[in-house]
Chain A
């Protein structure tokens, strides 16, 4: 498997709290994507980070990529109940055309 540990398989938090989830990967990559999957829906990309960026922000989201430790993180600040979902990290293989997904972190945000 491309993916090592995904820290925190499931966590429950209150609205307004911040949350960070982590992925570590085994094979060198220069791009990590984070996807969110809400119940009954398909995954949707949240953020894509490349190795030359190290950190990328989009609204309440912040992603990091550390190629030296082969790890990536996704942080959400000021969570909302609508952030309740499974969050996956993913990277490309098959000549850069297919994604390998981690097993996901389930985040439950209570109002």
Chain B
């Protein structure tokens, strides 16, 4: 069963705290993504990873960094979270030779 998982599903943090969002996939997909979704803005690409330790900035990378040490696992890190990083974060994965992206259920992050 093809699946993308995200942990945690809900998270509340105070401004200035560090945040770690984790994503896993069981499809051996080479490419993984982090998006954020805000009302009225659709999904915006934060980072893309082409494979282990091969990461590239997306459209809105400021304030975020990523880590991919295993093909099946991709992390999004917020160092010193800000209130404007309150959002829903989605992880996705795709095979290198396919256009379809498979999305996780999302992590709802609230930064107070």
The interface of chain A, by Cβ under 8 A from chain B, is 31, 33, 40-45, 48, 88, 92, 94, 96-104
Chain A minimum-CB-distance residue to B98:
A48
The interface residues of chain B lying within 8 Å CB-to-CB of A97 are: 31, 48, 50, 94
Are the C-beta atoms of A103 and B42 separated by less than 8 Å?
A: yes
A43 touches B103 (CB 8 A): yes
Tell me, yes or no, whether B74 is within 8 Å of chain A by CB: no
Q: Which residues of B contact A (CB under 8 A)?
A: 4, 31, 33, 40-43, 45, 48, 50, 56, 58, 90, 92, 94, 99-106
Bound CA span A98–B35, Å? 10
Task: Report whether A94 and B56 are in contact in the complex, using a CB–CB cutoff of 8 Å.
Answer: yes
Residues on the B chain within 8 Å of A96, using CB? 99
* Alpha-carbon separation in the docked complex, A98 to B90 (Å): 14
Measured CA separation A41–B6 after assembly (Å): 12
Q: Other than the known A42-B106, A94-B48, A99-B101, what 15 A-B pairs have Cβ atoms closer than 8 Å?
A: A33-B99, A40-B105, A41-B105, A42-B4, A43-B103, A44-B103, A48-B99, A88-B42, A94-B45, A97-B50, A97-B94, A98-B33, A98-B48, A99-B45, A103-B42
Looking at chain B's contact residues, the main secondary structure is strand
> In the complex, are the beta carbons of A41 and B42 less than 8 A apart?
no
In the complex formed, the residue of B with least CB distance to A104 is: B42
Contact A45/B100 with A94-B48, A104-B42 known, Cβ cut-off 8 Å:
yes
Q: Is the CB of B42 within 8 A of A101?
A: yes
A48 CA / B100 CA spacing, docked (Å): 8
B residues near A92, Cβ cutoff 8 Å? 99
Is B99's CB under 8 angstroms from A101's CB? no
Q: Which of B4, B40, B50, B103 has the most chain A CB atoms closer than 10 A to its own CB?
A: B103
Closest 3 CB pairs of A and B: A42-B103, A101-B42, A101-B43
State in angstroms the CA–CA spacing of A41 and B90 once bound together. Answer: 10
What is the CB-to-nearest-CB distance from A4 to chain B, in angstroms, rounded to a whole number?
13
Across-interface contacts of A40 in B (CB, < 8 A): 105-106
Chain B: CB-nearest residue to A94: B48
Partner of A88, one of B43, B58, B99, B106: B43
